Structure 1
Amino acid sequence: MTITSSAPVAKPVRVRRVAWHVLLWLLVLPGAAWAVVRLGGWERGGLVQLLAFTPYVAAWAVVPAIAALATRRWLAAAVATITFALLAVAVLPRAFADGDRGPQGGVALHVMTSNMLFGNADAATIVKLVRENDVAVLALQEFSVNGQRNLAAAGLGELLPYSSLGAEFGASGSGLYSRYPITNPGVRRNDGGFNQAYGTVQPPGAVAVTVESAHPLAPASLAMLDGWRDDLDAEPRADPKGAPRILLGDFNATLDHQPLRDLIKGGYRDAADNAGNGLIGTWGPYDGDPLPPVTIDHVLADLRLGIGAVSVHNIPDSDHRAIIADLKIPAA
């Protein structure tokens, strides 16, 4: 007589099912929490730095959704699918040109921003980009005295003879160069300790625009988070009663950070986001650091200005990439 039992088989099956169920939720819940923090603008503490990598989390979020659907874990599948959808709605529009790109008439103005990494960025490359892309306004961050000399030696003054400069040793310097005369030039120091050069330029046939090289404090440590937030809050908003404004530079924030989104709501468009290039990284691995690229450099254009083409360019000896944007300035 032979006696058989399914118990030894059933128990391992149940254990595997429970283990998979637990593992699945461990995959689903972090993404769901991330989506809640991102959409609520509730980044605090170390979450501020992590939130810069939201596009990568959005791409990953499809994995637990597919896994839950494939194994018919319906509650986990619902949470994972909603998480993926929410993150996709927040991130994917940056990869597509916006239907509202502002007024497309008027005068073209090519602007460029570049962080020079303590002034050591390759000056010849910067000048070459200015020349080949018809750049009329150049904003620089981490603009040092040595960087200023190197740019002059590379011939920048022949292309952009007017300037408002606040060069300093280290990372705090700022510079603004222009093809056209700069009126009301100046350099202000934000509370984070970085200079921001500014001035008003008026391309021929266009209205005057105010341009500022932005460089808020970086959220490099927990002790710097309040200063980072305060610097972004203090960046000038567009004034509908004044000259149109352009803010461009190293904002040390991505579109997944609430303070930057609040700044943009103050009367701006993000040029790269508007042109469908908002997911192109501008900081991270470009000086050899093992970091995935994130987008912390921006050109913010007043809503009264139009957005044309936007491109991103490598700069040797800098940890940032340069952004060049074609803006449309209303005719005078």
Structure 2
Amino acid sequence: FPTRVAREMRRGTALTLALDVAPYALVAVAVFTAAFGAPVLTRLCAVVLATYAGNAVFGECDLASWALGDAPRSAYRGKTVWITGASQGLGEELALHLGSMGAKLILSSRREETLRRVCEAATAAGAEDARALTLDARAGSAAMREKGAAALALAKEMAGSGDGADGTDADVGVDYLFHVAGGSQHAAAEDTADEVDRDMFELNTMSAIALTKALLPSMLARRKGTIVAIGSMAVKCPAPGQATYAATKAALSAFCHSLRGEVADRGVSVTVAHPGPIATGLGGQTRVIFGATLAKSTCDTAADAAAAA
């Protein structure tokens, strides 16, 4: 345990934990000092707590992120990053941002033409390389395993290594896997069809689990790799009309938190980010929102599948 604590401190986890716990500790100190007559210390605690509250209301990031600072511009130089849901929204922005830091990108979504546009933009932003790998996240676990193997093959190709097909070479593989593909929901639970529930779990949860399991042997063999899952504030604060969506993101979050404990001492990191609402679809693309039935959903209807083909 002490060894693991030291390792986590070096990676900044201890700082993040300290800053997260600090407001509660300050409240306790403020109450204690007020009760025993230490007005100066009480006022100091109040000022710090007001700073935390102001940052929470008006800030663009948490204090832990601010204290850790920005990553260097070359942070992803030479790293292979696979991003699902990369054709628009958060996935596209991640591709452009990490590309500007010199990453080698594998970008996935259903439509190849859109992916190629993002690849070109990422390359123009500074990506060392950017390749499109089409992926239908609702195609099932067998298809996800195939895409995982294809991503590892692309990683070897981008590294100039064509030797071996199992993705376990010492220095070649996917370094970062970002699970961004997903869809939201706008329908009451009582009205939501079973097929919508199944499709939403396949898209938001099962595909990410399958892709993770497809790449995990390679990462563990290399003793390095980072898996990042995009959760949702719906996990923390579920809203009406998003019952199944919140459940899918909560399931993915629980999987990742459990996995983190399994691989923490084997060189692989697992992170879950819970963003709030994101303005996806403003560029003319169709945002994936599940309705009460698939016919009322802006996702893969039969017409969409035909258009994608």
TM-score range, shorter chain: 0.3 to 0.5
The structure with more helix, counted as a fraction of residues? 2
TM-score scaled by length of structure 2: 0.35
Name the structure with the higher strand share: 1
Higher relative contact order, structure no. (Cα contacts within 8 Å, ≥ 6 residues apart): 1
What TM-score does the superposition give when structure 1 sets the normalisation length? 0.34
